[in-house]
Amino acid sequence: MIDIFTRVWDNLVARTEGPMNLRFFIQPTMSLIFAIRAGLRDAKNDRVPYLSRLKASKGQRREIAGEAWKDVGKIFIIGVILDIIYQLILIYGLKKKDMFYPLESILVAFGLAIIPYIIFRGPANRIARMFIKKNK
């Protein structure tokens, strides 16, 4: 089991260098832009920050998660596709790897698209609320 975690960690660190490493800047930036837009929308609609709302509303979690998926779903899917292309380049083009790991693609896309969105949507909402209250 530790061998699997070591391999996954080594492969994740190796992705930050070499072909297609620019996506490690572009994807979180796009996710951040969508998080700010969603945070501003939440502030205008006078909603509680995203994680607080997700945690507190037990019956509506699916709708709240679906709302986030509308914002970052495309970025996540593009992230998976880009990571699959990256792995294929390493396997067939550069011949540095011999195996394809699809779960690593999902893990990378989750880390680059969804985690920044979740982290920054709430603070964007809180900051926007401060400015909205000052203008009233």
Three-class DSSP category at 15: coil
Residue 108, CB half-sphere, CA atoms under 13 Å: how many? Answer: 30
User: What are the C-alpha distances in Å from 15 to residues 69, 83, 104?
Assistant: 25, 9, 11
pLDDT digits (tens, 9 = 90+) for 119-132: 999 999 999 999 88
What angle in degrees, to the nearest 10, is found between the helix axes of 61-88 and 115-135? Answer: 130
What would the mean pLDDT of 77-86 be, rounded to a whole number? 92
Percent of the chain residues topping a pLDDT of 70: 99
What would the mean pLDDT of 25-49 be, rounded to a whole number? 93
73, pLDDT greater than 80: yes
105, pLDDT greater than 80: yes
18, pLDDT greater than 80: no
Q: What is the mean pLDDT of the chain?
A: 89
Answer yes or no: pTM beyond 0.75.
yes
Distance, CA of 27 to CA of 49 (rounded, Å): 23
